[in-house]
A and B are shown apart, each in its own frame.
Chain A
Amino acid sequence: MGHTGEKQSAAESLRKTRTFGKVRCHNPSCMGRITPAPGAQRVRCPTCGMEYRLIWVNETLPRIRGPVWETNRKIAQQAWARRQAAAKEVK
């Protein structure tokens, strides 16, 4: 066969880059990893302020269940207003 002992594939070598206990903020320019307190039900991104509801698939695997709507809606509305204002300025 001659395959045993060969170097790891790219995919296998990336296994060491896995992180545990963290989620990623969904805002493109943040995308930073946030470490919620173990078992926490909510987490807020320190960069953009978006707030998320969490579930824990297992003890080391938290997942963003969804946004905290009232918080994120407000942030979205502010972002839209900023975009509108910037567009006006350009005109």
Chain B
Amino acid sequence: MQPATMKVLKIDFEKCTGCRLCELVCAVHHDGVSNPARSRIRVVKWESEGLYIPMACQQCQDAPCMQGCPVGAITHNWEQNRVEVDYGLCIGCRTCVAVCPFGAMHFNTIDRKVIKCDLCNGDPQCVRFCEVKAVTFVDAGDESLARQRTAARRLHTAEGKAAALL
């Protein structure tokens, strides 16, 4: 059955100020503690260039973590639009950590288990706290619209310039 909406985390890294509040609130929400090592979202930085990029699980449709899991502990929850770990089955082998192309599956050394974004059951705290809207929660079908609009405008401008050259 097709769900009414399919919401995903949309990351607009150009807007990220690098404050890492998303990491803090993620850990506080899930584990009740402050510790970015427990965060499911992480801001990757190149400080010498002023570049900050929040990285989180893409909730892939054909998820490598799911494919790689030897005990079938990772499944797709279509209702929540997320890839999730069944900790009753998980053996802690970290194969999922190794195969995730985004580095978005983490191993939490304190609890000795893998952790990943669960979209906070529909109310992502990183989105709630990001005032600059570098992380938003949007329908997957709409994710490309803003980018498309920007590109269209760019095309139009280029067209104008090209016309002026003729």
- The short answer to whether A and B are in direct contact, CB under 8 Å, is no
